[in-house]
Amino acid sequence: MKKIINKSENVVEEMLEGMVKAHPQYLKRVEDSNVLVRQNSPVKGKVALVSGGGSGHEPAHSGFVGLGMLDGAVAGEVFTSPTPEQILKGIKAVDGGAGVLLIIKNYSGDVMNFEMASELAQMEGIQVEQVIVNDDVAVEDSTYTVGRRGIAGTILVHKITGAAAEKGFDLDDVKRVAEKTIKNVRTMGMSLIPCIVPAVGKPSFEIGEDEMEIGLGIHGEPGIRKEKIKTADQIAAILLNNILDDMKLEKDDEVAVMVNGLGGTPLMELYIVNNEVNKLLSEKGIKIYKTIVGDYMTSLEMAGASISLLKLDDELKELLDSKADTPAFRQL
Amino acid sequence: MKKIINKSENVVEEMLEGMVKAHPQYLKRVEDSNVLVRQNSPVKGKVALVSGGGSGHEPAHSGFVGLGMLDGAVAGEVFTSPTPEQILKGIKAVDGGAGVLLIIKNYSGDVMNFEMASELAQMEGIQVEQVIVNDDVAVEDSTYTVGRRGIAGTILVHKITGAAAEKGFDLDDVKRVAEKTIKNVRTMGMSLIPCIVPAVGKPSFEIGEDEMEIGLGIHGEPGIRKEKIKTADQIAAILLNNILDDMKLEKDDEVAVMVNGLGGTPLMELYIVNNEVNKLLSEKGIKIYKTIVGDYMTSLEMAGASISLLKLDDELKELLDSKADTPAFRQL
């Protein structure tokens, strides 16, 4: 295992400290917790957004804490859900009196712990709602989920829902926008090289030297099948066709595209994939309104990529375009 | 070789197309060239900045084309200098009548070809100046250079010099700011896993399973020595001490810190390194004015990191803080 770390049991603690030290203008840490919140939290009168989950997906989620996106992010150990107590601390730290929306990726542990935290917060008089992101079209049920997994599309939910909250939408309306985004977003990924959880020290699944894994998850769980490595164009077509089979876009529909790297993939390769995604969508007459390329929802050092499509309407376009200022996503 | 590509001879072409398709609001491609320039180029009356070099360092350099940074970036083949003809096309495409500054990383091929392009442009009546970035403290002369190499510190030169040009500084003054930044910036890197040039198909140097390479270059050239892998804290100390031996900072000096990933390193590890860099600098009484963590100057999928320090004065702080809007670096 080749990693630039100290002790494997300290990676989350040291990472969170390193993040706060890098971005003091954006982030502060809630005392005795693995929760990072906006420097100016709580923002009085604004609906607050909290997300989180296991670590190892950086910049998700704490990299998206800031203006126009999240108010707080709760970090569990690597690929491990944060506890309800930690999530509760996050909720309390960001509540500005207008309620809190939890954005949960669909993993059994996350759903259970976030929902428990929600109940605890409501018992303390805080208004809390939640949405569950399930954008991965690869598998219906996985090692860690009932139903589809939540993966890179979650970042688009952060962006759009965060913009709604920033514009002063109330809790019901922010939740409505979040649910519409979740309904409209689909993702599928693949990998060439698996990742190694620091505390485990070996890969969670094996991929042959000439193989790739299609439809993998972001926690090192295997995908739907192994295949011989194909070209970037073929990979783009496989992922995109699976998404399009599921979401039924029509000619002249407008979409946002995200080509997401899983941590160990050069940006060069993501742009090569984007080149083909753009071509394939254009051939079908689907209009690309905005494209985001980079490492947003990763799986440690896994080499691979995912493609997300978000079907847009006028409301979603306006929210997608609005200002954001966070460590990992900024838009003027 | 596991890569998400099509034919190895097409990677640069397809990457550039994928970039323009991802960022049409920022970038346009100069006809019959591997040059990407600002969508609104040439900007009349503004000093224009051009950088570039071999591909494989993405987002450098075309990811930094936009408001407050570069006007144009010229891409060579992977780890290969662009030709003088290509660079000349870049210069001509961005010249807005106030002159052009070339920001060159110190590699023999780049220096030769950019200087030749500069002479050709001057013969056509364009005012051109150049600066050479040589921030790498690891080696005095390398496989590819006479004198020190230009690496991640180049991004800080883009940011600060770009801000000066945006504020309306004239060519001499933009060049003065660039030279001050170059004089004040130092970098050193290390890697755990080398990279593979697509057209070559195998690593350019070998690193043992329990080894790391200290002081490597960004073109796969070896470093100054191999060592047993050390902890993140020890790695941070080795790199930082080499830099501090060279730049002689004093208590209360202010610096910008960049912890740069080489392409295959998880963000988690970069933040762990930053945590220790911050601690070590604080212990010495050196003030950290701003920190930048991420993949800015990469070497394909190489796993590793570099640390850069830039000594600041009031002028550099103001320029570092000013607005930037490019595909890979944005600041509100």
pLDDT tens digits, residue range A215-273? 988 887 778 899 999 999 999 999 999 999 999 899 999 999 999 999 999 999 999 99
Q: What is the model's pLDDT at position B250?
A: 95
Contacts of A191 in chain B (CB under 8 A): none
Mutate to test the interface with A, among B1, B228, B267 (most CBs of A within 10 A): B267
Question: Which residue from A11, A21, A288 is facing B291, i.e. has the nearest CB?
Answer: A21
- Is pLDDT of A79 > 90? yes
- Nearest residue on chain A to B16, alpha-carbon basis: A271
Which of A21, A266, A298 has its CB closest to that of B266?
Answer: A298
Distance CA A81, CA A24 (A): 25
Handedness of CA B63, B65, B70, B76 (dihedral sign): positive
The SS3 of residue A53 is strand
All residues at 6 or more sequence positions from A111 whose CB lies less than 8 Å from its CB, including other chains: A104, A132
Q: What's the confidence (pLDDT) of residue A253? A: 98
Question: Which residues make up the CATH 3.40.50.10440 domain(s) of chain B?
Answer: 10-184
Catalytic residues of B: 57, 219
Instruction: Write the residue in A235, A267, A301 that is nearest to B59 by C-beta.
Output: A267
The predicted model gives B107-119 an average pLDDT of: 97
Give span(s): CATH 3.30.1180.20, chain A. 185-331
Alpha-helical segments (H) within chain B:
11-22, 84-94, 108-123, 153-166, 171-184, 232-247, 267-283, 314-321
- How confident is the model at residue B139, as a pLDDT? 85
- CA-based nearest distance B97→chain A, Å: 28
A202: left (phi over 0), alpha (psi -120 to 50) or beta: beta
Q: Picking from A65-79, A193-207, A229-243, B32-46, which range would have the lowest pLDDT averaged per residue? A: A193-207
CA dist A271 and A264 (Å) reads 14
- Which pTM was predicted? 0.98
In DSSP terms, A29 is beta-bridged to A36
Say how far apart CA A93 and CA A70 lie, in whole Å.
13
Give the count of Cβ contacts less than 8 A between chain A and B.
Answer: 186
Q: Assign 3-state DSSP to chain B and report helix, strand, coil percentages, each to 5.
A: 35, 25, 40
Q: Mean pLDDT, to the nearest integer, of B298-316?
A: 97
Window 259-278 of A: residues touching B by CB (8 A cutoff) are 259, 263-276, 278
Average pLDDT for residues B188-200, to the nearest whole number? 94
Give me the interface pTM, i.e. the ipTM: 0.98
Distance from CA of B272 to the nearest CA of A (A): 5
**C-alpha span between B13 and B3 (Å, rounded):** 16
Choose among A126, A127, A130: nearest CA to A103. Answer: A130
On the question of pLDDT at B78 being above 80, the answer is yes
Q: Which range (A162-166, A320-324, B219-223, B230-234) has the least confidence?
A: B219-223
| Residues from chain B contacting residue A193 (CB–CB below 8 Å) | 2
- What confidence category does residue A131 fall into, taking pLDDT thresholds of 50, 70 and 90? very high
Measure CB to CB from residue B269 to each of A4, A270, A276 and give the nearest one: A4
Question: What average pLDDT does range A161-178 have in this prediction?
Answer: 98
Q: Is B248 exposed, middle or buried (0-12, 13-18, 19+ CB in 10 A)?
A: exposed
CA distance B104 to chain A (A): 21
Tracing tokens 């009349």 back to the chain, one arrives at B44
Q: Which residue of B has its CA nearest to A196?
A: B266
User: Is A209 close to B265, i.e. CB distance below 8 A?
Assistant: no
CB B188 within 8 A of CB B137: yes
CB under 8 Å to A132, separation ≥6 — which residues? A104, A105, A106, A111, A150, A182
Distance CA B299, CA B215 (A): 14
Provide the pLDDT for residue A321: 98
Candidates A4, A7, A230: best to mutate against B (most CBs of B within 10 A) is A4
Q: Which of residues 55-74 of A touch B (CB under 8 A)?
A: 55-56, 58-59, 63
Check residues B205 and B245 and name the one with the higher pLDDT. B245
pLDDT of residue B206: 85
Q: What is the pLDDT of residue B142?
A: 78
Residue A141: the pLDDT is 81
pLDDT digits (tens, 9 = 90+) for A98-122: 999 999 999 999 999 999 999 999 9
Whole-angstrom distance, CA of residue B74 vs CA of residue B121: 15
For residue range A279-301, what is the model confidence (pLDDT) as tens digits? 999 999 999 999 999 999 999 99
Mean pLDDT of B302-325: 98
- Alpha-carbon torsion, ordered A267, A273, A275, A276, to 10 deg: 180
CB proximity under 8 Å: A 131-170 to B: none
Distance from CA of B233 to the nearest CA of A (A): 7
Nearest CA in chain A to B20: A275
- Tokens representing B25 are 């609001």
* CA Rg value for chain A: 19
Looking at residues A124-132, what average pLDDT do you find?
Answer: 98
In this predicted model, what pLDDT tens digit does every residue of B208-226 receive, in sequence order?
999 999 998 888 777 889 9
A10 with A2: CB under 8 angstroms? no
**Catalytic, out of A23, A61, A158, A219:** A219
B67: which 2 tokens?
């408001």
Q: How far apart are CA B176 and CA A138, in angstroms?
A: 55
* Beta bridge partner(s), residue A130: A102
For residue B143, pLDDT beyond 80: no
- The verdict on a CB contact (< 8 Å) between A4 and B58 is no
Using an 8 Å CB-CB cutoff, list chain B residues near A300. 266, 268
Q: What percent of chain B has pLDDT over 70?
A: 100
Residue A158 annotated among the catalytic residues of the structure: no
User: Please, which pLDDT band fits residue B63 given cuts at 50, 70 and 90?
Assistant: very high
Q: In chain A, what residues touch B265 (CB-CB under 8 Å)?
A: 4, 301
User: Using CA atoms, how far apart are residues A305 and A106, in angstroms rounded to an integer?
Assistant: 19
Find chain B residues with C-beta within 8 A of A23's C-beta: 291
What integer is the mean pLDDT of B236-262?
Answer: 97
Which superfamily does CATH assign the domain made up of A185-331 to?
A: Dihydroxyacetone kinase; domain 2 (3.30.1180.20)
Per-residue confidence (pLDDT) for residue B221, from 0 to 100: 79
Task: CATH number for A10-184: choose from 3.40.50.10950, 3.40.50.1820, 3.40.50.10440, 3.40.50.300.
Answer: 3.40.50.10440
Q: Closest Cα partner for A235 from A305, A157, A330? A: A305
Q: Which residue has the tokens 């770390």?
A: A5
Q: Which residues of A touch B22 (CB under 8 A)?
A: 259, 271, 274, 278, 291-293
Torsion sign across C-alpha atoms B14, B17, B23, B29: positive
Answer yes or no: do A4 and B272 touch at CB < 8 A.
Answer: yes
